[in-house]
Structure 1
Amino acid sequence: MSSTGSTYGGSGVGAGDTHQATVRDTDVLGVSPVPAEHLVAEYVEDLGVFDPIVGKAQAIITRYPQSRSALLPMLHLVQSVEGRVSQAGIQFCAAQLDLTAAEVSAVATFYTMYKRKTCGEHLVSVCTNTLCAVLGGDDIYKALGEHLGSDGKKLGHNETAGEPGEPGSITLEHAECLAACDLGPVIQVNYEFFDNQTPESAVALVDALRAGEKPAPTRGAPLRDFRTAELELAGFWPEDEADYRATVDGPSAAVETLRGAKLAEDRGWTAVPYPDDVPLPEVEKK
């Protein structure tokens, strides 16, 4: 018997050969049914839309000893312009921070707060994690999907009712834990809390938003539109003190959240004080 034998399913490729050495390369551009030069040529987006925020981008960078640490707020800044993180936004961040587009994309696609599709004027996030779901979060999400849908089709996750970015447009998403289990089921609008919701109250809320109203959140700062909230997440606030206070002031703690601390105070409960010096455990010598 030949020492080479038949391999690769009887192809006759010898043991000393490789598939690469015996099979010709395919001209993928030649056989493509559509023009595919973009697969081998780098495409540079028009970054002109970001010219007004170059100064803000540089201001963010100066906050950090390493410029790449500015990437997260920089992505929020980009999102405040377009309502999403586009490919142009990724290239803008890469150019400002001296990173590759791949490095920026890896971060932008990891965090759910960075959107790849343009958001509506308002982002409505419905908590569907365990406790909120049990208390009615799933019912709220279903009711909003049906109410905001059209032509008999429910609005789905990260889909928008209305023209994205235009007044009255709503982007709906189901969210993982929003850290408000004591007040569930909860909704956030542009990351501000609306607690103890029901399907009926949630529908009334989005109807008010679509009508141009800005209902007061249960706690936290007054409601802003999505792009303004993104600018604030990037770290930019009104310079005037009165305007700043009007933007951020609001009730921050709910009675339910403080109930344990109040109960301990009323009953005189105290925790064992943490020791000033804690000895480290012995490390086994090798």
Structure 2
Amino acid sequence: MSCESCKNELAREMYAELEKFIDELPEKRGALISVLHRAQSIFGYLPKEVQAFVGEKLNISTAQVYGVVSFYSFFTMEPKGKYPISVCLGTACYVRGADKVLEAFKNELGIDVGQTTSDGKFSLDALRCVGACGLAPVVLIGDKVYGRINSAEQVKEIIKEYQD
């Protein structure tokens, strides 16, 4: 089996999983956001092909789907790294040095906000607020929360945890 056929088989399985989720919804009307969340968890992001598929299955236009995807910052149309890093830049985090934490991640990874490392391991984003102000500055890697990050050394240690 060639690598291309591996990708095609994986894609078919992912689309089948999404289709099953949509088909099992008791009510499709008003389900767009939950379907998009599920699609993003399956595919890792929401490329135009997935958006078109969702629109077709929910009987809404691709433009409507795109409007929701582009409006909500949680959704992404670009592939993320295996370990998506998000630095909170909300007020509490910012006044406690989150901008310096973000710079440390940029320097350590060699990427800017919105980019993914060439090996696909890390992607970097900045968020407005994650609601963990008591732990400011806060960094999320996937669903794991790191609080009171205030040095380049801490950033290096965090990244080291994810080196395979």
Cα RMSD of the aligned pairs, angstroms, is: 1.7
Q: What SS does the aligned partner of 2:125 have?
A: strand
1:112 aligns with 2:73: yes
- The 5 A counterparts of 1:12-27 are none
Q: What SS does the aligned partner of 2:116 have?
A: strand
Tell me the TM-score normalized by structure 1.
Answer: 0.50
Q: What SS does the aligned partner of 1:174 have?
A: strand
Rounded Cα–Cα distance in structure 2 between residues aligned with 1:176 and 1:141: 13
1:158 aligns with 2:134: no
2:132 to 158, 166, 180: 180
> Larger Rg: 1 or 2?
1
Runs of 5+ in structure 1 lacking a partner?
1-46, 150-154, 213-286
Counterpart residue number, 1:271? none
Q: Which amino acid counterpart does residue 57 of structure 1 have in structure 2?
A: I
Query: How many pairs align?
Result: 152
Counterpart residue number, 1:206? 159
Of structures 1 and 2, the one scoring higher in RCO (CA 8 A, sep 6+) is 2
Q: What SS does the aligned partner of 2:71 have?
A: coil
Runs of 5+ in structure 2 lacking a partner?
1-10
Counterpart residue number, 2:55? 94
Aligned residues of 1:122 and 1:171 also touching (Cα < 8 A):
yes
Q: Which amino acid counterpart does residue 188 of structure 1 have in structure 2?
A: L
Shift of 1:145: 0.1
Q: Do the aligned partners of residues 68 and 201 (structure 1) sit closer, same or farther apart at CA in structure 2, a change above 3 Å counting?
A: farther
Q: Which amino acid counterpart does residue 198 of structure 1 have in structure 2?
A: N
**Percent same amino acid at aligned positions?**
24
Q: Do the aligned partners of residues 54 and 86 (structure 1) sit closer, same or farther apart at CA in structure 2, a change above 3 Å counting?
A: same
Q: What SS does the aligned partner of 1:207 have?
A: helix
Tell me the TM-score normalized by structure 2.
Answer: 0.85
Rounded Cα–Cα distance in structure 1 between residues aligned with 2:23 and 2:146: 35
Rounded Cα–Cα distance in structure 1 between residues aligned with 2:124 and 2:156: 12
Q: What SS does the aligned partner of 2:108 have?
A: helix
Shift of 1:84: 0.9
- Structure 1 stretches of 4+ with a deviation exceeding 4 A read none
Aligned residues of 1:68 and 1:99 also touching (Cα < 8 A):
no
Aligned residues of 1:120 and 1:162 also touching (Cα < 8 A):
no
Q: Which amino acid counterpart does residue 43 of structure 2 have in structure 1?
A: E
Rounded Cα–Cα distance in structure 2 between residues aligned with 1:146 and 1:77: 33
1:199-225 CA-to-partner distances (Å, cap 9, x unmatched) read 32122112211x13xxxxxxxxxxxxx
